[in-house]
Amino acid sequence: MTTQHPADPTVTAADAGRRTDGWWRDAVIYQVYPRSFADANGDGMGDLEGVRGRLPYLRELGVDAVWLSPYYASPQADAGYDVSDYRVIDPMFGDLADAERLIADAHGLGLRVIADLVPNHCSDQHAWFRQALREGPGSPLRSRFHFLPGKGADGELPPNDWESIFGGPAWTRTANPDGTPGEWYLHLFAPEQPDFNWDSRAVADEFRSVLRLWLDLGIDGFRIDVAHGLVKAAGLPDIGLHDQLRLLGNDVLPFFDQDGVHEIYRDWRLVLDEYGTDPATRRIAVAEAWTPTVARTANYLRPDELHQAFNFQYLGTAWDAGKLRAVVDLTLDAMRPVGAPATWVLSNHDVVRHLTRLGAGLDREQDLRRARAATLLMLALPGSAYVYQGEELGLPEVLDLPDSLRQDPAFTRAKGTGAEGQEGMRDGCRVPIPWSGTEAPYGFGPLPGGPSWLPQPAEWAKLSVEAQTGDRDSTLELYRAAIAARRAHPALGAGDSVEWLEELPTGVLGFRRTAAGQEFVCTANTAEQPVLIPAPGRLLLASTPVTVVEDELLLPADTTVWWAV
Ligand code: NOJ
């Protein structure tokens, strides 16, 4: 039998394995990056109407929820993560009526909608910040941000040694209303993104009100940007080291993962719970929290805090059986005590697409093969999974964008520092999606030959949704089949543990999961050679076409196989 498609008649009943104790616990959540998903009005930039028009595609893909990266009013200094008004949709994306229609249509199709909330910082064009600048030192508005006098004889040095995540100091000096040099303000990201001071009651009140506004509109949950950054250590102490970017995720820094953030999330949980606690309709929140350990991530997921957090440790793990097994164990062991589902993610709008990142970079076919294997492994793990737009098409990172077109502020900030280049820059994973046709923008916008804010490679014509639909060997059909099988098989999705198979050749990862009397086995070969394994059951799905011969399978390199036992 050669197949990558569900072949087991016992697992075709849709939703047989869905959990009843919380829709998010085994949800597949699809990240839409609105600028690059679909452009309904033909201006070269994606918009909410574009997303709405493609909801049936997402329904067919089989995902449970859509997370939309920020759509708020924004000067776009950091692609919308610099919000000037949290209550308004940026005209570039549409308006509130578009958002309402989008939410209504999504709900009509059984899809939930998750908004991206940015509470660590706003835009320097936010009304509060502008007024704080206008009013000068001593203005009560300044206490909503971190304004401080500088050090040195004339205040010419920043208040401390913190570095921006995008490079350079995390402080920018302001000019007083009379034009003389004034106080400095803190921005952990770009200078256009001043950090809020969460000790200010006005900030906390404002965000409670913003949460309710979107919840009232029907939003099913929030992805919380920089959830670990809101509280800064008292006194804003120096770190004493340069290259602080390297410390991120390894050490507790005075601006990240401070214990005080948990009080904020306990408060937000009360707001979310005002909207009901039925597990089928509950409003949820997912933390983007970079912490030194998975155990510290679990702190955000205690029963009275948030519902999920991204698993960046998993995202950062190489395609290596031993390392993958270790991170899976670490994750499940950390989540079990707090009762939160594990989450799994391979790609998002901030990292190199996993096809390119995990691949050897020599041969696209080989890279794709590994990416497909990694995806099938991810979707077999217990808990919830995040899929970033375009990974279901097998899109690679675009590595040759002209500098003049790139918009990532990290790129601009790195210029002249020696850190420039493609590495660590984020435009290459944000190139608009190819939907159909043979001419750019491949259905991203309404007109052949029309604009797209970043150019798409010519070979993406072959990778469009239209080109892949119905092709049983395509990556799109693999995702569709995997998500459908995940819904149908009770031992997939749900759960908080795996039973490792120990008798497998080096480089092969295998685990068993059992639920409702049905068993499922996943085997993944991360090695460079094919290996012979006994077939543990009936072939359910494979990331590379494979053939079982007399109860044995020659499992190819970079291949994951799902089995129904
Ligand atoms: C994380 C977001 O994912 C990223 O795109 C953004 O630049 C930073 N937070 C700052 O908001």
Q: Which residues lie across from 500 on neighbouring strands?
A: 511
Percent of the chain with pLDDT over 90: 88
Rounded CA separation 35/48 (Å) = 9
Tell me what pLDDT residue 9 has: 33
| Tens of pLDDT, residues 72-115 | 999 999 999 999 999 999 999 999 999 999 999 999 999 999 99
Average pLDDT for the chain: 93
pLDDT above 70 for 68: yes
pLDDT band at 12 (very low <50, low <70, confident <90, very high): very low
pLDDT of residue 10 exceeding 80: no
Helix (H, G, I), strand (E, B) or coil at 555: strand
Segment among 9-18, 156-165, 381-390, 544-553 with least mean pLDDT: 9-18
Average pLDDT, stretch 309-334?
A: 97
Known catalytic residue at 408: no
**Helices 261-273, 201-216: inter-axial angle, 10-degree rounding:** 30
| Pocket lined around ligand 1, Cβ cut-off 6 Å | 78, 81, 118, 189, 225-226, 288, 349-350
List the single range of 18-32, 38-52, 125-139, 181-195 with lowest mean pLDDT. 18-32
Is the separation of the CB atoms in 344 and 384 below 8 Å? yes
pTM above 0.85, yes or no: yes
pLDDT in tens, 139-187: 999 999 999 999 999 999 999 999 999 889 999 999 999 999 999 999 9
Query: What mean pLDDT comes out for the span 485-499?
Result: 94
Q: How far apart are CA 556 and CA 565, in angstroms?
A: 21
The protein residue with its alpha carbon nearest to ligand 1, atom 10, reads 81
Task: Give the span between the Cα atoms of 526 and 82, in whole angstroms.
Answer: 40
Question: Which element (helix H / strand E) includes 113?
Answer: strand 112-117
- Token pair of 411 as six digits: 């790129």
| Atom 6 of ligand 1, nearest CA residue | 81
420 catalytic per annotation: no
pLDDT at residue 418, rounded to an integer? 54
Atom of ligand 1 nearest to the CA of 121: 11
3-class SS shares of the chain: helix, strand, coil, % to 5: 30, 20, 50
pLDDT at 17: 47
CB 398 within 8 A of CB 457: yes
pLDDT for 426: 92
d(CA 265, CA 341): 17
Residue 356: pLDDT above 50?
A: yes
Ligand 1 centre distance from Cα of residue 246 (Å): 17
Which of 163, 192, 225, 305 is the catalytic position? 225
The whole-number average pLDDT for the span 532-552 is 96
Rounded mean pLDDT, 431-439: 97
Residue from 184, 123, 191, 193 nearest 155 by CA:
184
User: Active-site residue among 100, 135, 274, 363?
Assistant: 274
